[in-house]
Amino acid sequence: MLFKLSILILFSTFLTAQIPDGLLSIIQKDELLSEGGADLLEWNSDSTYIIGVSAVEVKKKRKNILRRIGTSKAKAQVTQFIEGSDITTSRKMETQEKIEIVDDKEIVTLTEEFLEIIQEDTEGFVRGMSNVGGWYSDDKSMYYYAVARLLPQKKKK
């Protein structure tokens, strides 16, 4: 059993590591994928990739958070492309106003908290996607992130 598991891990590592140099720049230039979505991209006559690209509003998020959200959303794009399914998201915004009186002066503090919850429940194929990379929009308001997976080639007769 341990041997089979080792072979499976080695095989999946080999498949996910097959992202060629230059794929990210091709995705960024692609008219359909450059701003989000999913599509097939023929790399050469022997290699076709399924690509998923997400679009995430930057606001005040750190880059590692943008990458994590971007990866989930990009995989969801692939799932939707393959199966026609939807991603489950919920958004919650809390606003709090605090009024303090200090030295006969009223001080008003307003805080807002925005929470976006992305529920990801993917199996098999989508879990084997490799991270290609991310980039910002020209005005830095959006962060795009791409994932890809090499599709198995059909056997020639």
pTM of the model: 0.62
Could you tell me the residue ranges of all domains in the chain? Answer: 2-150
134's CB contacts (< 8 A; 6+ apart) are 66, 67, 70, 143, 144, 145, 146
Residue closest to 131 by CA, chosen among 10, 14, 24, 9: 24
**So what's the pLDDT on residue 59?**
87
Is the confidence at residue 13, as pLDDT, over 70? Answer: no
Is the confidence at residue 15, as pLDDT, over 50? Answer: no
3-class SS of residue 1: coil
- Structure confidence by residue, pLDDT tens digits, 104-135: 888 888 888 877 776 655 455 677 788 999 99
For residues 58 and 67, what is the distance between their CA atoms, to the nearest angstrom? 11
